[in-house]
Amino acid sequence: FPVIQDGLQKNVKTVWKYLENYYNLGKDMQAKNVNSKEVMAEKLRQMQQLFGLKVTGNSDPETLNAMRKPRCGVPDVAP
Amino acid sequence: YAITHNNPRWSKTHLTYSILNYTPYLPRAVVEDAIERAFRVWSDVTPLTFERVFEKEGDIVLSFHRGDHSDLYPFDGSKDHFAHAFLPAPGMGGDVHYDLDQKWTDNSENFNLFYVTAHELGHSLGLSHSNDEEALMYPSYTWSNKDFVLNQDDINRIQALYGPSTNPIQSTGASLDVCNSGLTFDAITTYRGEVIFFKDRFYIRVISFLPEPMINMIDLIWPTLPGKFDAAYESSMVDELRFFKGSKVWAVQEQNVLEGFPMDIHSYFGFPSNVTHIDAAVCEEETGKTYFFVDHMYWRYDENTRSMDPGYPRLIAEDFPGINHKVDDVFQKEDYFYFFYQSIQHRFNLQTRRIDDSGDFSTWFNC
C-alpha cells in the first residue's frame, strides 16, 4: 500500500475498511488489470473532497482523523 | 452535490412511519419524542407530513438490530457504524436501522438519538451526504448540545426534492433577516467600539464603517459557547466579554474562553440563590459599575472591587423612569443606555435620567 505514509498496520486497516464500507473500494479492486495504487488514491481523493480535506490521495493524519469520527453507516458513494 | 444516483424521492407528500422496537437505554416515551422531533426537522421546511401508524408497517420503519441483520450493513457494537437508512423505495426503502448495542442518549453524550435520526431521515427522504461541514447531512455526526437549527445546505437540498414548506413560518437556517420588524434578540453587547447582537446561533456585528452588518455563526468565533444567550456585556477595563445563560457565566477575551468558565453567577457575582438567570447586563464604562437586570429589579456590581454594591436589588422603574417593564437587552453607547424590550428600544439619557427617544431597532442595521 504505497499510499500509506505512516505504515502503521492499524492505519492500513482503518483506511481499507473505511474505503471499502463507504467508497466501494472492495468491488473496484476485483476488476482485472487494476492499478491498486491508483484506485486507492482515487478513493482517498473522493473521500477527501467530500470531507473538505486537502485532496492529496494520501492517508495523511487529517484524513485518518476524519475516518475515526463517528459517522453514518450509509456509503458516501452508492454502488 | 449529486452523488445519489437519479435522485430517488417519495412521490407522495404524506408519509407514515412505524417504530418496530426500542433501545434499552432510553424510556419508550423519550424514543418516540426524539423520533417525532426528527421528522419535524424535515416537515418544517417541506410540504411533507409524517404520521405515526401502529397497526401496520409505515412507509418508513425505524428499528433497532444487533449485529448482522441481513441487509448488507451489519452492526458490530462499535462506534464505527451504528445507524444507517435506505433511500426512498417500496419495502425496506426509507427504513432506518439503529445498532441495538449502541448507547443511545437524549443529551450531549454519544449518541444522541434525535440527531442521528434526523440525519438518517435525510437519507430516508432521498438525500445523500453533504460536503458542508455545518450540514446535518455531513457524513460524520457533528452533534453538540446546542439548540438544533437545520443548516441552509440541508434546506436547499431537501427543497430541491420536495419544494418549500407551505407553512408561512420558515426555518431560516443559516440566514437571518435583521430587517424583520418582529425580530427580538437574545443578547446585545458592545465590544471594542462595535455593537454585537446575538440571536439563536448567530451574531450580528454592526461596524460603523461597513454599510451592512456582518452576520455569521457564533460557533465560528466561540465554538464552545452555547447559543441563545440570556445576556451579555463588555467589561472594557479588562477587555472581557461576559455571556450569561441560565445561572452560568462565561468570560471571554477575543476568541478565548477564560480558564475556569463557565462559573456560577451566585459564586462569581454574589447573586442570591433565588436569582436563576440574568435578563440583561451593561457595564457603565465611566464608573466601572455593572447593572444586572432581572425581571423588574436590578443589581449593581462594582467591577473594581468585584463585589455587589449594598442596597440592591432596587426596582428598575424607580431609577430608570420610563422603563416600566422587564429588560430583554441593554448596552451603553456614549451617554446613553439603550434598553430593548421585545422589538422596541428606548434611549435612556444617563445625564438627564430620562428616556429621550423610543422606536424600533432597525436603524442599527440601515434597513
Residue-level pLDDT, tens digit, chain A, 79 residues: 444 444 556 787 888 889 988 998 876 676 666 777 788 899 999 999 998 888 999 888 889 989 988 899 999 986 5
Residue of A nearest to B131 (CA): A50
Is B69 in CB contact (< 8 Å) with chain A?
no
User: Residues B232-261: what's their mean pLDDT?
Assistant: 93
- Quick one: DSSP state of residue B148? P
Provide the H-helix boundaries in B287-330.
316-319
- Least confident segment among A20-24, A44-48, B99-103, B131-135: B131-135
Residue of B nearest to A49 (CA): B131
User: Residues B305-316: what's their mean pLDDT?
Assistant: 94
B136-139 long-range CB contacts below 8 Å, 24 or more apart?
Answer: B136/B41, B139/A22, B139/A50, B139/A51, B139/A71, B139/A72, B139/A76
Give the SS3 label for residue B240: strand
- Quick one: DSSP state of residue A37? H
Confidence of residue B34 (pLDDT cuts 50, 70, 90): very high
A49 vs B contacts (CB less than 8 Å): 131
| Better pLDDT: B342 or B21 | B21
A50 vs B contacts (CB less than 8 Å): 1, 129, 131, 139
User: Residues B256-269: what's their mean pLDDT?
Assistant: 92
| Better pLDDT: B31 or B219 | B31
pLDDT for A3: 44
Contact between chains at A70 and B140 (C-beta distance less than 8 A): yes
User: Residues B228-245: what's their mean pLDDT?
Assistant: 93
Confidence of residue B5 (pLDDT cuts 50, 70, 90): low
Contact between chains at A70 and B139 (C-beta distance less than 8 A): no
B99-103 long-range CB contacts below 8 Å, 24 or more apart?
Answer: B99/B64, B99/B65, B99/B66, B99/B75, B100/B23, B100/B24, B100/B64, B100/B65, B100/B66, B100/B75, B101/B66, B101/B67, B101/B75, B101/B77, B102/B23, B102/B75, B102/B77, B103/B25
Asked if residues B274 and B288 have their Cβ atoms less than 8 Å apart, the reply is no
pLDDT higher than 80, residue B177: no
Q: Which residues of B4-32 are buried (b: 16+ CB within 10 A; e: fewer)?
A: beeebebeeeebbbbbeebbebbeeebbe
User: Residues B24-40: what's their mean pLDDT?
Assistant: 94
Contact between chains at A70 and B73 (C-beta distance less than 8 A): no
pLDDT for A2: 40
| Better pLDDT: B195 or B144 | B195
Give yes or no for a cis peptide into A61 (omega within 30° of 0): no
pLDDT for B339: 95
Give the SS3 label for residue B24: coil
Å between A37 CA and nearest CA of chain B: 24
B120 vs A contacts (CB less than 8 Å): 72, 74
Q: Can you tell me the distance from the alpha carbon of B260 to that of B205, in angstroms, rounded to the nearest whole number? A: 27
Active-site positions of B read 120
Element (H, E) at B296: none
pLDDT higher than 90, residue B352: yes
pLDDT higher than 90, residue B216: no
Is B79 in CB contact (< 8 Å) with chain A?
yes
Amino acid identity at B338: Y
Cα Rg for chain B, rounded, in angstroms? 24
pLDDT for B145: 57
Confidence of residue B6 (pLDDT cuts 50, 70, 90): low
Confidence of residue B114 (pLDDT cuts 50, 70, 90): very high
Is B56 in CB contact (< 8 Å) with chain A?
no
The three three-digit cell numbers of residue B299, written as one number: 443589581
pLDDT for A79: 59
A69 vs B contacts (CB less than 8 Å): 140-141
| Better pLDDT: B199 or B316 | B316
How confident is the prediction for chain B on average, in pLDDT? 88
Å between B227 CA and nearest CA of chain A: 24
Cα dist. B108→B39, B84, B197, B247 in Å?
Answer: 20, 20, 27, 19
pLDDT for B193: 86
B129 vs A contacts (CB less than 8 Å): 50, 72, 74, 76
Confidence of residue B322 (pLDDT cuts 50, 70, 90): very high
Å between B27 CA and nearest CA of chain A: 24
Q: Can you tell me the distance from the alpha carbon of B33 to that of B259, in angstroms, rounded to the nearest whole number? A: 37
pLDDT for B147: 65
Contact between chains at A73 and B3 (C-beta distance less than 8 A): no
Contact between chains at A77 and B5 (C-beta distance less than 8 A): no
pLDDT for B277: 92
Taking each continuous run of H as one helix and of E as one strand, the counts in chain B are: 6, 23
List of residues 6+ apart from A14 with CB closer than 8 A: A64, A67, A68
- Quick one: DSSP state of residue B108? S
Q: Can you tell me the distance from the alpha carbon of B86 to that of B126, in angstroms, rounded to the nearest whole number? A: 8
